[in-house]
Structure 1
Amino acid sequence: MSKPDHVFDREQEWASLVGFASDTGAGARLGVVSGRRRQGKSYLLQALAGSMGGIYFPALEVTEAVALRLFADELIRFTGAPVPAFRDWIDAIPYLFGVVRDRAIPVVFDEFPYLVKASPELPSIIQRELGPGGSGASSSARVLLCGSAMSVMGGLLSGTAPLRGRAGLEMAIRPFGYRQAARFWDIDDPRLAAQVHAVVGGTPAYRREFVRGDAPSGPGDFDDWVVRTVLNAGAPLFREARYLLAEETEIRDPSLYHSVLAAVADGNTTSGGIAGYVGRKSNEIAHPLRVLEDSHLLVKERDLFRPNRSYYRVVEPLITFYQAIMVREWARLERGDAATVWRGSRGRFLSQVVGPHMEVLCREYALHADPAAGEVGSGVVPDPSNRTQIQIDVAVLAPADHGRPRRILSLGEVEWDRVMGAEHVARLRRARDLLAVKGFDTRDTVLTCYSGAGFSTGMESDVRLVTVDDLYA
């Protein structure tokens, strides 16, 4: 089935959903679709249900009785016939399976966590009806449970959860990659695309709903675009970073979670550093860190050269921008002084937002640019002789080969607004020599410089040079 023209990209997700929803096997099927808000889950599932003549039920945060009445109304629209009043979901789910019999169609329960909050037994009811002797055995419904509360959706199929082992589809709808995001925003200038992505990432709704299609007209319009959108107190995007946490049901102390995110955005990337920043003990932030990881707001990445070390990174660019630029100037921004605030924040934007974000883009580029890559990340190489540490921004390792030294395919350093030269290459050469001593295979290691500002003349021919244009080529 062809994807509707109004659905941008999402080719792989569409193919998987259509394949699941059109499965002609006997009995009802269960799928789970998750992802943070604003990523286009509802948009995609509405298109699926509409294209296949299915059922789309958008749940609301209401009582069980109201939810059941709304669900009955949806079934009336689907069947064109009267539907009995449901006392509970024990009545409603078998009735649903009973009316969906003739052909395979998607049945979407959107914002499923709202239903679970009002009716905690609902997953168990669905599990029973999907099981042996349940009403789903003679149904052709392809049930899709969708939600944005990542902690709830992640728990549906984990551990001893009733639906564990029942799902034939598990799909996470993630933000667009940086190249797709550039096309979505209709930006063809690579430097401009990278800067916009450093602010709003790849979240589709930020262009469609939050700025009403307002995109920078060119590189010279970027500063004005920031002022009239994300720093504009009257624009929906202005407070969005504060609201992202409110959607997670497990968060009981928002101030603590905001503080943890602020710590990471400010460069405190270890659990000890985060704990010190927020004024708590390390064991007291273990749960917030886990919830933020489950919510896809933080990611934990290991140091490729020191296996016992790991670092946290903020996944959502808008949160990094908010913490670096907006928090300290919130009062002035609310007064409408966005232009002045931005003029004084440009340096901080380059060093704390775009620079680190460029590293993330380069790691993503390296992962897809080298077909032999097994793992891409970053790491620190201690240099005892010089009593320093060498930060490797982009390290590309070959897949592990048991019994042999790990091959390092590439070591790279990233600069956004500085011309790269001989000193960067010398640092990478030193790191390569130190890693060889530690037992890594560096015989074929390529030294790579990634720069948004260019390279000095006379760079060695054996050094790979990657520009922002290359990232988007």
Structure 2
Amino acid sequence: MDKPAEMFDRDFEWAELTRFAALPGPRATLGVVSGRRRQGKTFLLDAVARASGGFMFTATETTETDALRQFGEALARHRDQPTPFRFTHWDEAVTELMRIADRGGPTIAVIDEFPFLAKASPALPSIIQRALDPAAQHTNTPVRLLLCGSALSFMGGLLAGNAPLRGRAGLELVVPTLDFRLAAEFWEITDPRTALLTHAIVGGTPAYRREFTQGDTPAGPHDFDAWVTRAVLNPARPLFREARYLLAEEPELHDTALYHSVLAAIAAGNAARGGIADYLGRKSTDLAHPLSVLQDVGMITHEADAFRRNRSAYRIAEPLIAFYHAVMRPAWGDLERPGRAPAVWRRAQSTFRSKVVGPHFEQVCREWARWHASPATHGGQVTRIASGTVNDPAAKTSHEVDVAVHGETDSGRETLLAIGEAKWNDVMGKGHLERLQHIRALLTARGTATDVTRLQCYSGTGFTDELRHLAENDPAIQLIDPVRLYRGD
């Protein structure tokens, strides 16, 4: 099956789905597809179903009786039946579904938005499990059943622990967001700084270019501010309320006011649980559940400190949510009135740079160091990337390391390959390098780093001639600008 020409990237996902669709053998087989909303899962599965002549049913949030009626009508259309199937319960519906590959060869059957069906019919996963049991396979045809959903906590639980479908799936595919390089290519933005600024707002979600902005992209650095006001801060555009809807659409988030407050605290720069609790005026123990739920649904990440095992940091995973809480939410009343967006955006420039672009640039630098930089850049094979805090007892202070690169040397021993500092809006000079040299000395004294641990300066603005001269004469000093982030290694 050839991938549709209009489908951007998704080569790996397409290959896995088409492989699953063509699996030989007479037995029915299960696959699970998940991923955050707006990533193109439905488009991907619909393309596979069409290319293979398979069946696809997209569920809606409704009652069990109505869902069975809709499913019966869709299945009858696929089977060229003159009248709809009338199912009284899901046992009958699943049994009939398992018979659709009776015309020769494996046949794809997709149930999209599966969590909606399972919410109305909690026994449905168990019914599917029973239909896949060896005892029931003699009545099945080679159906390749794909269950798809965006409720990450629910979809993750389908195959976990003691869940009925545990051990039944032959495919477990997560459709990710586009990384920063692919996102720039998808948005057709060639200027690296403009690409990163845009990514700091909309991330790598494909729908935000197609459905939500109708192809409206920043034409370049001169057009970025105008694009923000016309496409993101415009109350007549879908992207304006999207951050609010993302939380409302998650079935696990019942008290949305609390979850919005937690996200606002993180967007304000509070990465530790204690700081989040202080921001909200709550006890730290009160936040264990909301933080866990936000992590389960993919709204935030929880990352361990590179140097201190007892420290960790919470970060917002969806850039649009971070942008909403830092820039839009504080000025929501003004933004809802047409024509106020340009004034709000002018006032928000400092906040945008410090609370949105700065942290996002650091994250992009970590992603580049992990997935795009060559081993020669770091002096070894990378095993993990994180940020961290280094204590400085003599100065009675601590130092933040934005990029800490752990990896293996040629001898196979784990070591700290590099440490880096990221500054979006600063021209980096010798002072930044000396700070990294001091941190390396502290880590070397602790036995964590060595004299060959590399020093990396990441800047969105550029470097002084003095620092460039030092880097030219010392391969241990690495300078990374937006051009290298997007096009180099």
Give per-residue Cα distances to partners, 1:103-160, cap 9 Å, x unaligned. 1121110000100011110000000010121147632111111011112111111111
Write the mapping of 1:394-409 to structure 2, written as runs, cut at 5 A.
394-399=403-408, 406-409=414-417
Structure 2 distance, partners of 1:398, 1:41, is 34
1:464 matched to 2:478? The reply is yes
* Equivalent residue, structure 1, for 2:362: 359
Q: Is the contact made by 1:3 and 1:14 (CA closer than 8 Å) also made in structure 2?
A: yes
Structure 2 distance, partners of 1:226, 1:176, is 20
1:347 matched to 2:350? The reply is yes
| Offset at residue 400 of structure 1 (A) | 9.8
| Offset at residue 25 of structure 1 (A) | 2.3
Give per-residue Cα distances to partners, 1:25-62, cap 9 Å, x unaligned. 23111111111111111011011101110011000111
Secondary structure of 1:447's counterpart equals strand
Q: Is the contact made by 1:375 and 1:399 (CA closer than 8 Å) also made in structure 2?
A: no
1:384 matched to 2:386? The reply is no
Structure 1 distance, partners of 2:6, 2:47, is 9
**Percent of pairs identical after alignment?**
53
Q: Is the contact made by 2:95 and 2:131 (CA closer than 8 Å) also made in structure 1?
A: yes
The partner residue of 1:181 within 173, 180, 183 is 183
Corresponding residue pairs, total = 472
Opposite residue 101 of structure 2, the aligned amino acid is V
Structure 2 distance, partners of 1:114, 1:138, is 25
- Consecutive unaligned residues in structure 2, runs of 5 or more: 376-380
Structure 2 distance, partners of 1:105, 1:201, is 35
Secondary structure of 1:395's counterpart equals strand
Give per-residue Cα distances to partners, 1:226-258, cap 9 Å, x unaligned. 000111111111111111111221212111101
Opposite residue 399 of structure 2, the aligned amino acid is I
Opposite residue 312 of structure 2, the aligned amino acid is S
1:431 matched to 2:448? The reply is no
Structure 1 distance, partners of 2:138, 2:205, is 36
Q: Is the contact made by 1:72 and 1:86 (CA closer than 8 Å) also made in structure 2?
A: yes
- Alpha-carbon distance change, 201 to 138 in structure 1, aligned in 2, over 3 angstroms: same
Structure 2 distance, partners of 1:90, 1:400, is 57
Write the mapping of 1:39-438 to structure 2, written as runs, cut at 5 A.
39-82=39-82, 84-101=85-102, 102-135=104-137, 138-336=140-338, 337-368=340-371, 369-371=373-375, 372-399=381-408, 406-438=414-446
383-392 vs 279-288, greater mean Cα deviation = 279-288
Give per-residue Cα distances to partners, 1:372-398, cap 9 Å, x unaligned. 111111101111111121111011101
Opposite residue 356 of structure 1, the aligned amino acid is P
Secondary structure of 2:154's counterpart equals helix
Secondary structure of 1:274's counterpart equals helix
Give per-residue Cα distances to partners, 1:39-87, cap 9 Å, x unaligned. 1110110111011100110001111111111111221222112454111
Secondary structure of 2:190's counterpart equals coil
Q: TM (normalized to structure 1)?
A: 0.97
Secondary structure of 2:274's counterpart equals helix
| Offset at residue 287 of structure 1 (A) | 1.2
Moved >2 Å (runs of 4+): 81-84, 135-138, 399-404
Give per-residue Cα distances to partners, 1:76-104, cap 9 Å, x unaligned. 22211245411110101011112323211
Secondary structure of 2:466's counterpart equals coil
Q: Is the contact made by 2:29 and 2:170 (CA closer than 8 Å) also made in structure 1?
A: yes
Q: TM (normalized to structure 2)?
A: 0.94
Secondary structure of 1:229's counterpart equals helix
Give per-residue Cα distances to partners, 1:338-388, cap 9 Å, x unaligned. 000001111211111111111111111111213311111110111111112
Q: Is the contact made by 2:426 and 2:459 (CA closer than 8 Å) also made in structure 1?
A: yes
- Alpha-carbon distance change, 400 to 304 in structure 1, aligned in 2, over 3 angstroms: farther
Opposite residue 234 of structure 1, the aligned amino acid is A
Opposite residue 393 of structure 1, the aligned amino acid is D
Q: Is the contact made by 2:75 and 2:85 (CA closer than 8 Å) also made in structure 1?
A: no
